Structure 1
Amino acid sequence: MGESIGNHPRFNILGPLEGWDRETRLRLGGAIQERILGTLLLEPGKVLTVSRLVEAAWEEDPPATAMHQVRKAVADLRRRIPDGAAVIVTDGPGYRVAISDGQLDLTDFGSGVREAKAAAAEGRTAEAAELLRSALALWRGPVLAGAGGPVIEAAAAALEERRLTAAEQLCELRLALGESAELVVDLRGLVSQYPLRETLRCQLMLALYRSGRQAEALEEYGKVRELLVEELGIDPGPQLTKVYEGILRESPELAAPAVAAPAPAPAPPAPAQAEPPCTLPYDLSDFTGRDKELAQLLECRAETAGQRTRVVAIDGMGGSGKTALAVRAAHRLASDYPDGQLHIDLRGFTSGEQPVTAGTALDSLLRSLGIPGERIPDDAEARSALWRATLANKRLLLLLDNTVDAAEIRPLLPASPGCLVLITSRARLVDLDGAEWISIGLMPPEESGRLIAETLGEQRVKAEPEAAAELAQLCGHLPLALRIATARLRNRPRWTLQYLVTRLQDETRRLDELSAGERSVAATLRLSYQVMDEDCRTAFRVLALHPGAALDVYSAAALTGTCTRDAEDLLEFLLDMHLLQQPEIGLYGFHDLVRSFAHSLQTPDTDKSDATAYVRLLDYYLLATDAACTVLFPGRRQQETGMQPSPAELPPLKEVRLASRWFTREHTGLLASVAGADRMGHDRHAVHLTRNIIFALYEGGHFEEFRALGRIAVGAARRLGDPMLLGVALSNLGISCWKLGRFAEGIEVAQESLDLAVRLDLRATQAHSHGTLGLLKLMLGRMPESLMHMETAIALEQELGEAGQEAESQSVLSTLYMEWGRYPEAAAAARRALELNRQRGHRRHESAALVDLAFAHTGLGEDARALELLNEARDLCDPSARQEDLALILALSADVGYRLGREEQSRRDAAHALELARDSGVPVRQAKIENILGAYQRRGGAHETAMELHANAYRIASAIHFRTEEAHALHGMAEAARALGHEKTADRHHAAATELFEAMDLPLHRRSR
């Protein structure tokens, strides 16, 4: 039928695209217009985004103006089609076609197939055959023939499968009506087009046999068997084999049915219908991975004892491959359930559709078992009773796919102990009693790699192995994302894996990239999102604002503005929905793609509430870090923030162990929260949070992160125009510069901090800045200046009663005296630091003071006492001690121990010290330790090893202008070279060392460490 119906245009897509206005064929424009209209007609009534239409209109690499051209093409189509604005409707982010019955051959075909199915189910076989014949007559060729493009081609392939299924059903009905010879020609035509289609071949063999052509029927079996083995490496299926064996035996079951004249009575079932029903979906030929879960499923068999059906449910996030896994298992288990294998999609998460009710599902399942429609009761309870009675003493496998509600599937569960029910669901149906659950998460990296290789081909992956691994990571090891990505690569042979990886690296467009045809990661996740109530949707969106890799109930409560109990309920619900993951008990995290989806939900309408939620999180972190620092650093000076304290509940932080563990666990989130505060303009939060966090960063040896946060805090304090906060931020930044060997930068910021503190008469900041300047100038060998700063700092700290700060300054002063060779004064300063740290009960600082005192005793020639102090310092080091601290203890212990004759222990200490120092990433400490170990090796006569150690210390020290250790390294290199007989090299190093020592005004006897 070509003409339009009434006053409405008609469109035909089952063949070349046609548009008709009554008897006039419409001119629809060029290829772009035809592809856009054809794509819309393929999914009538459904909104297609502009980006989807762009993908349909251009096979690859669309122009920069593609979206504009799509809109222009739609406007052109509306002009060409009568009442075109009513036919192509703008709807939200895209367009849809609005058409009625009779306006599109595709919908007419679908209606005809459905009516035929209903007629056949009611026994009106002849009518059903006629309806199918009329529906198939609508096809004029391949769908949208000549239109081209991957989107249209993919849809055309799916529709062609529907046409072929309808053709098979028509042939089956004609066989049931007694036709045979007249069917042979039609079936031969279909078989020649689809030679591997076993159903068609089976029908052709039956038609030939019933026409008296037994030899030809058997010949067909030989042809298909050879073809299947050659093409697929498999033997014919059980249905085809059964018909073949029946022909050999001339089984009476294969005889043509006796058909009463015009009577509407149902025809006897054809041999194919005598087979147990199997409605399982297609089993993916390239199914890959899930080895562990598949093995678990294959162990599932019906109960051999007991009085119940075995129920096994698979849950996992959208796109994790639950259905593919269940279908693979069902096909593998099919032989164990000879009475049938049934599948039904309950559409719990299907776009635009309501979940299938229990009554509807039971009607479909009963009909699959051959129960006539007139025998099926109207109410769901009676249908459930009939279903269970029908399955009595049967062994049947039932796959309930895409479930959302336990109440709707309970009536579907058989009572027979010989049955197995497989269930898939995105949410764990916790109220489904008696079910065994298999949760599937993300694919392991090796299985992701296998899936990419299976779908793209080994050669393509071998050519770009690193890009393939990164592609798997960017897809989050989610099977749906991996399949979409590899499908895009298959459809774009010019693209390399690295090219797609580069596109996916842009987080703002990653979800758009992971979309192909009807498959989309975002659309899959949206279905899970839409089934939740509004409160859960809001919580989901707000929780995604958390900047860390994982969050706990306390930070979740702060974000959502609830108590921790309600927050935990929300987190657990989202965990059950597989929209959150649980890396460990008490922690929850977002999959990268789920987080990106949640961020995409933010709109101008939600910006204000989201900003309020983020401030609540910052307030909570400020309160929690302050509480943790109070426990971990009891001598820390308190500072007013000028902000209202958060009312949030805090985790247990009142013990050192708990506070330390909390800082470690929240490390990533705390760093990211400061960056977020800086990005969003919350400068006061950025400054005060940084001040709290850097205490923990310093203790943990995270100095690069310390410096990064310090720079953020300085910038925020400058914007606030708060000189007091700026002084503190600058002073702290200077400390990080010392640890990282950035002495010049450190002196610059510490001097600015000092100038600011003097101008504002901030005594505590003055003391801290003098201490930092003294330390940094010591590193550069500016000894007199360093001494002046340290003496000023100590005087101020004693005046202010800052015991903790004084202890640190006394340690620096001890090191300064030690370098100067003033050993009694070095020992006195170290003893004062030790006394102050013991009063404070700070084990790590007490250990450091003991090491300073040990250095002084080595200078005094009291090695035995020095070793006692070092052993005491070592005993104070717990497993959380910083590597560089323990390395220094071990290095000095090795050198002193060797002088005391403890050679074996010294060797062990030296090896361990070097390993720790090189792993620490702290250049100032590594240079010192390698010089100490170089001296130790020289004492033992290992001069080549000593030369290597001193040379490495020199490279490190000279790169950061650490003058004292640079001089010691040159002196050590001179001594090692002389012992090896390299006099010229020794003289050169000795001269350079002497020049540095004299420039620093160090006494000559200090040159021989």
Structure 2
Amino acid sequence: MGSEQGLRFHVLGAVEGWAGDARLRLGGVIQERILVTLLLEYGRLVPVARLVEAAWDELPPLSAEHQVRKAISDLRRRIPGGAGVIVTDGPGYRAESAEFGLDLSEFARGLRLAREAVAEERRSDAVVALREALALWRGPVMVGRGGRVIEAAAIVWEERRLAASEQCFELRLALGEAGELVGDLRALVSQHPLREAPRGHLMLALYRAGRGVEALEEYGAVRALLAEELGIDPGARLAGLHEAILREDPDLAPPHRPASAGPDGSPGPAQGIRALPYDPPDFTGRNEELELLLDHVRRPGGEGTHVIAIDGMGGAGKTALAVHAAHRLAPHYPDGQLHIDLRGFTPGESPFRPGAALESLLRALGMPHQPLPGSAEERARVWRAALARKRVLILLDNAADTAQVLPLLPASPGCLVLVTSRARLVDLDGAEWFSIGMLVPEDSTALLAEMLGAERAAAEPEAVAELAELCGRLPLALRIVAARLRNRPRWTVRHLVERLSHETRRLDELSVGQRSVTAALELSYQALGARQRAVFCLLGQHPGVEIDVWSAAALAGTSAREAEDVLEHLLDVHLLQQHTETLYSFHDLVRSFARSLWAGTADGDEADGVVARRLLPYYLGATEAACAALFPDRLRIETGFPVPDAGLPSFPTPEDALAWFDREHHAIQLALNREGDAADQRCVLHLSRNLAFYFYTRSRVEEQATQGVAAVRAARRLGEPRLLSLSLNNLAVSHWRLGHFPEGVEAASEALEISRRSGDRQHEAISVGRLGLLHSALGHIAEALSFLEQAVVLRRESGDEVGAAESWTNLSTVYRWLGRFPEAAGAVERAVRINQRIGSYDNEKMALIELAATRLGTGDVRQALDILEQALALGDETRRSENHALALAFMAEARQLLGERENALHDADRALELVGRSGARLRSSEVENIVGRVHRGSGDPARALQLHKSAFERSTVLGYRVETACALVGLARAAEDVGDHQEAAEYFRQAHGLFEAMGLAASHRSWA
């Protein structure tokens, strides 16, 4: 993703820019053309002359170059952080791709992933990558507004899209699909009738689907078309396919479609999972829709998952119908029933991205705390493997679009997916759709009678019918007014009808769509007390999907007890919902209603400021308390903010603090994104720092880096050197974990300059230590050794025991690389003792891992194994999972050296799985190299070659030179084992040169 603003651009269709949830106004067509030209060449210099040509084609004005510069300036002003997004580069400009997300680059990445998957014969993974890449396209680039230059570039990308589409169909045919492809292939052929590849795919799909006559007709059609348009015959490949169909060649038979099987350790749905929302006993109406839906489900299905989708306006009861049907169908899906709200139309919220939705679903399947793969593609693969050969019902509620749903669909033919959405997703292939509108009059009055009681409804039948009409016969509105009547037993139904009728300015709105819900909600709102109304409006400003008592109290400026009383009353009158005992939530329409009320009050101009003034300081206090429980050994910095009057949640154990962070971090991020610029920058800085610590623990490194950037920006605005130095040092750690070593050096060097200028020895020590760590990763061994030895002295002088232990551990690694094993052992043993004395378990774990690596280097394998067992006992894989993976990898190596082959391979596989889920890129190359050695030692040099090759490619991209050299050594030894001595010699030559350049040539054979 992009910068701290969540900046992203879309060019595969109409050009769009987004900062978080806000769409950017990019200006006129000239600005759009210039921006798109830069984005099409992202990361590369575009001369001003080319931008002139792109903006005006062949008729530029005399002032064109000046106008380009003016348009660039305008774009920088309109884009948050625009100066960093569009940078001046010599004679032109460059779109700095590290600053934003771009659908074009995501498309290119998808094609690359597909190529890699095809090369490794992972056809299913290639199909997933291609389909997700193709789903990014919303139409031609700039949809006809681009001019000659952009149109020429667009043709290239359009050709890549078509090639990807053709390859996707070819792979799906190779995987055994046939009839289900016909519709999409016909659409592609109609758009590009002269392309022979899709025509051939269509012929083969038809033939395999038992429609041979149609397949032959397609050949006749394309032959006539080519003769008429181009005066040529079909190519040899298409003609050969035609002949093969005529003679019913057995080679055209579809391949066997094996049941999908996940990798070892893939999660499977726990028996009896029941995660459906509550099915209210007063569900009434929708009998016709319900029976049709159930009939469709009971029909014999095809080879894939059965998908039923329900669309309709907000408040029409889509979810209620889907939930009721799901409960009816539950006995037919014994392996479980799952539910997720995709937030497609939740006001003020971004729809769940497929990766986040998959995380939620996988955790429901029994992975509540394990790190998950970082990409949506990898999570989708785990998800589908988990559901292979299972019968599971999945309710995907409130979907935004097809692209959001497709990655969540399982492949098992035993599964049922129910989808609800306000928009009909016409491109959701293979789905059975049901559109629902308002309830029929009989069902509306029956629903009111069920909720009010038969006796009360029977006493005023005409008034009940009028009330149903005034509510627009929408289930949400009906339930709200019925709740109002139940809470007012002395009111007659007629009295409520008259009250609705008196809202003359809303009479017209009661019969149209969402406005009818607003009118019904207005009645419940007016029935609240003044304080309750104020809190209700304030709660609409809460950024989270779920609201706890403490954040509600902070937002409302009241005590937790008072806030809970109001929340419970709002729950009673159905203005809030409650899915768990301690958390409250809005229906999306009710939230929209609350926000509209706030905007219409006299204080409406202060809406944005409420979150900045009240909620962000509360979150700062809460995250400080949570971090105190989670990280008792971290450097304490006074925030300058008192504990909020409403109080804070308590965190008796680190697990409680981590669970709170797991639940609240998304809301905190949203609050910071919306209000960060308006808030006290000291609050923003410390809150970003606390979030970064949480993301560090959960191995969510990209998000850690995002918060690090936000903290640095706030520190610069504050102009406080000590806080800026602290924030830069923290950002440097994020860069190190991501493998962005030069950026990390830049941040730590600036921090060092600041601390030395101000005479701050404590932060000077931190910066020196960071620089030692980063230079060691870059292979600058002499510099790293110098910095780390200085860091040990400086941190000891400043009394920073945590930092001293950290520097001893990092220094040990460099000593080990140099073959100075006694010094390495002495350094890391000091780190272990310090960490044990102060109770820093996470750092002790890393020190023990380094000590074990040192023991392995000296051949003390049994002792290394014992040390690694101590390390793994200090914490599970949910905290800093990449370090846990490193420990498992070394343990696998130790077991292999001791002859415990089966246990070694088990630990090796687990290490790869864990590190693959983490976002720490540099650890991946380390683990792959170690596991490669394990496989080679276990007699599998082919697998070792794969792993060392992956480590080589990964470390080369990062510039992690030590691991690049280790990968070359591993490749050389594995190549020797398979008899490729010439290639082995070349690998050894490259490795020796790299080790020599780093000053490690004499020592590497003892540990690489």
The within-5 A match list for 1:412-431 is none
Secondary structure of the equivalent of 1:545? coil
**Residues 333, 749 of structure 1: alpha-carbon distance in 2 compared, 3 angstrom cutoff:** closer
What's the offset of the Cα at 1:985? 2.1
Aligned to 1:327: 443
Return the match for 1:528 from 516, 521, 526.
521
Equivalent-residue separation in structure 2 for 1:349 and 1:836 (angstroms): 73
Shift of 1:407: 6.4
- 2:746 aligned residue: 748
Determine whether 1:567 maps to 2:563. yes
* Aligned counterparts of 1:282 and 1:708: Cα–Cα separation in 2: 47
Please tell me whether residue 555 in structure 1 is matched to residue 551 in structure 2: yes
> Contact 1:557–1:648 (CA<8 Å) still a contact in 2?
yes
CA-based RMSD? 3.9
- Could you tell me which residue of structure 1 aligns to residue 366 of structure 2? none
Shift of 1:923: 1.1
Partner of 2:1004: 1006
Of the candidates 695, 701, 712, which is equivalent to residue 697 of structure 1? Answer: 695
Matches within 5 A, 1:318-357: 327=443, 330=446, 343-346=461-464
Q: Which residue of 2 aligns with 1:799?
A: 797
Give, as a single letter, the amino acid of the residue that structure 1 aligns with 2:903: Q
Return closer, same or farther for 1:960/1:526 CA change in 2, 3 Å cut-off. farther
Per-residue CA distance 1:419-470 (angstroms, 9 max, x = gap): xxxx99xxxxxxxxxxxxxxxxxxxxxxxxxxxxxxxxxxxxxxxxxxxxxx
Shift of 1:342: 8.6
- For 1:743 and 1:536, locate their aligned partners in 2 and report how far apart those are by CA, in whole Å: 53
Distance of 1:627 and 1:738 partners within structure 2 = 27
Work out the CA distance in 2 between the residues paired with 1:918 and 1:292: 36
SS at match of 1:588: strand
Question: How many angstroms does 1:711 deviate by?
Answer: 0.7
Given that residues 750 and 769 in structure 1 are in contact (C-alpha distance below 8 angstroms), is that contact kept between their aligned partners in structure 2? Answer: yes
Counterparts of residues 126-525 of structure 1 (less than 5 Å): 290=321, 293=324, 327=443, 330=446, 343-346=461-464, 402=482, 404-406=484-486, 518-525=511-518
2:572 corresponds in structure 1 to: 576
User: Structure 1 353/817 Cα, relative in aligned 2: closer, same or farther at 3 Å?
Assistant: closer
Paired residue secondary structure (1:1004): coil
Describe the shift of the 1:588–1:345 C-alpha distance in structure 2 as closer, same or farther (beyond 3 A).
same
- Which residue identity does 1:739 align to in structure 2? R
Q: 1:347 touches 1:403 (CA, 8 Å); kept in 2?
A: no
Partner Cα distance (1:937, 1:405) in 2: 72
Q: Secondary structure of 1:634's match?
A: coil
Q: Is the 8 A contact 1:560 1:613 kept in 2?
A: no
Post-superposition offset of 1:580: 2.6
Distance 2:937 2:472 in 1: 84
Q: CA deviation at 1:411?
A: 9.1
Counterpart of 1:543, as a letter, is: L
Quick one: percent identity of the two aligned structures? 37
Give the corresponding residue for 2:354: none
Structure 1, gaps ≥5 residues long: 1-279, 298-318, 356-397, 414-422, 425-514
In structure 2, the residue matched to 1:981 is: 979
Task: Judge which range, 320-329 or 789-798, deviates more.
Answer: 320-329
Q: 1:291 to 1:949 in 2, by over 3 A?
A: closer
Q: Deviations over 1:525-577 (max 9, x none)?
A: 35314432343332122112222232210011000011111111222222233
**Is the contact between residue 483 and residue 574 of structure 2 (CA under 8 Å) also seen in structure 1?**
no
Map 1:38-117 → 2, pairs under 5 A: none
Residue 611 (structure 1) shift = 1.7
- Correspondence for 1:194: none
Preserved CA contact (<8 Å) 1:807 1:832? yes
Deviates more, 1:617-626 or 1:583-592: 583-592
Could you say if the C-alpha distance between residues 941 and 518 of structure 1 is closer, same or farther in structure 2, counting changes exceeding 3 Å?
same
Do the aligned partners of 1:522 and 1:597 also contact (CA within 8 Å) in 2?
Answer: no
354 and 856 in structure 1: CA distance in 2 versus 1, 3 angstrom threshold: closer
Distance 1:926 1:833, change over 3 A: same
Q: Does the Cα contact within 8 Å between 1:553 and 1:567 map onto a contact in 2?
A: yes
Task: Quote how far apart the aligned CAs of 1:824 are.
Answer: 1.0
Paired amino acid for 2:986: R
What letter corresponds to residue 560 of structure 2 in structure 1?
A: T
Tell me how far apart the structure 2 counterparts of residues 907 and 673 of structure 1 sit (CA, whole Å). Answer: 45
Q: Secondary structure at the match of 1:653?
A: coil
Alignment partner, residue 788 of structure 1: 786
Equivalent runs, 1:499-898 vs 2, <5 Å: 518-532=511-525, 533=528, 534-601=530-597, 602-603=599-600, 605-608=603-606, 611-612=609-610, 614-878=612-876, 880-898=878-896
8 Å Cα contact 1:283-1:324 kept in structure 2: no
Q: Which amino acid aligns with 2:564?
A: E
- Aligned counterparts of 1:943 and 1:295: Cα–Cα separation in 2: 51
1:917, 1:973 → 2: CA distance?
21
Shift of 1:733: 0.6
Cα offsets for 1:936-955 (capped at 9, x unmatched): 11112211100000000111
Q: Could you tell me how far 1:699 is from its partner in structure 2?
A: 1.5
Q: State the alpha-carbon separation in 1 of the partners of residues 734 and 510 from structure 2.
A: 52
Deviations 1:389-410 (A, max 9, x none): xxxxxxxxx9998462226657
> Aligned to 1:582, what secondary structure does the other structure show?
strand
1:200 — aligned with what?
none
C-alpha contact (below 8 Å) 2:701/2:734 kept by paired residues: yes
Instruction: Give, in whole Å, the separation in 1 of the partners of 2:576 and 2:447.
Output: 31
1:748–1:526 Cα change, 3 Å: farther
Q: Residues 782 and 1000 of structure 1 are in contact (CA less than 8 Å); yes or no, is this contact kept in structure 2?
A: yes
Q: Deviations over 1:179-204 (max 9, x none)?
A: xxxxxxxxxxxxxxxxxxxxxxxxxx
In the TM superposition, residue 908 of structure 1 has moved relative to its aligned partner by 1.3
Q: Deviations over 1:26-81 (max 9, x none)?
A: xxxxxxxxxxxxxxxxxxxxxxxxxxxxxxxxxxxxxxxxxxxxxxxxxxxxxxxx
List per-residue Cα deviations over 1:94-136 (Å, max 9, x = no partner).
Answer: xxxxxxxxxxxxxxxxxxxxxxxxxxxxxxxxxxxxxxxxxxx
CA distance in 2, matches of 1:411, 1:346: 13
CA–CA separation in structure 1 for the residues paired with 2:440 and 2:800: 67
Higher RCO (CA-CA < 8 Å; seq separation 6+): 2
SS of the residue 1:990 aligns to: helix
1:808-831 Cα distance to aligned partner (Å, 9 max, x none): 111111111111111111111111
Change (3 A) 1:818 1:399: closer
Aligned residue identity for 1:683: Q
Segments of 5+ residues of structure 2 without an aligned counterpart are: 1-283, 294-317, 329-421, 423-435, 498-507
The 3 A distance-change label for structure 1 pair 937 and 517 is same
Q: 1:766 to 1:347 in 2, by over 3 A?
A: farther
Q: Relative to structure 1, is the Cα distance of residues 841 and 283 closer, same or farther in structure 2, using a 3 angstrom cutoff?
A: closer
Evaluate the alpha carbon distance shift between residue 294 and residue 543 of structure 1 in structure 2; reply closer, same or farther with a 3 A threshold.
same
Partner of 2:98: none
Distance in 2, matches of 1:347 and 1:327, equals 10
Q: Give the AA of the match of 2:443.
A: V
* CA displacement, residues 147-200 of structure 1 (integer Å, 9 cap, x when unaligned): xxxxxxxxxxxxxxxxxxxxxxxxxxxxxxxxxxxxxxxxxxxxxxxxxxxxxx
Q: 1:630: Cα distance to partner?
A: 2.1
Q: Give per-residue Cα distances to partners, 1:846-882, cap 9 Å, x unaligned.
A: 2211111101111111111111111111222236333
For 2:639 and 2:804, locate their aligned partners in 1 and report how far apart those are by CA, in whole Å: 25
- Contact map agreement 2:541 2:607 (CA 8 A) in 1: no
Going from structure 1 to structure 2, the CA distance change for 1:348 and 1:1003 (only over 3 Å counts) comes to farther
